[in-house]
Structure 1
């Protein structure tokens, strides 16, 4: 039996008086988990409108290297065999 979990998230725009925390709008992402060898592979796919080319690196660092990698590392540690 294979178990799969899908998490979909969207960043809600800040109130007009507040500056965004990073220079993108319309950010939506999907995390999907797929069987891979003895474990799982997690895939992150995101779409957004960026104000500049530099924003792509900021999004990848904030979400890919920061939020998601940190959370996945905690799950790996928690559920290690």
Structure 2
């Protein structure tokens, strides 16, 4: 499952698989991530502006942790192909 995080409040979203819009995939989350490929999302705002994410590649997480401290959220994860912070 992929979930979009956008600044402001988009009125809708459009998920793309390998650059192709996916019919009906217009919510904040996209759950059809079984195929290997590149996923991205377009946030669509009421004023007509759009914001497109960089391509996302599905990964298998080994671990995912996070904590909130002094107004900051810190996330850490490890995956089969590496780790990110």
Q: TM-score, length-normalised on structure 2? A: 0.28
The structure with the larger Rg is: 1
- Larger strand proportion of the pair: 2
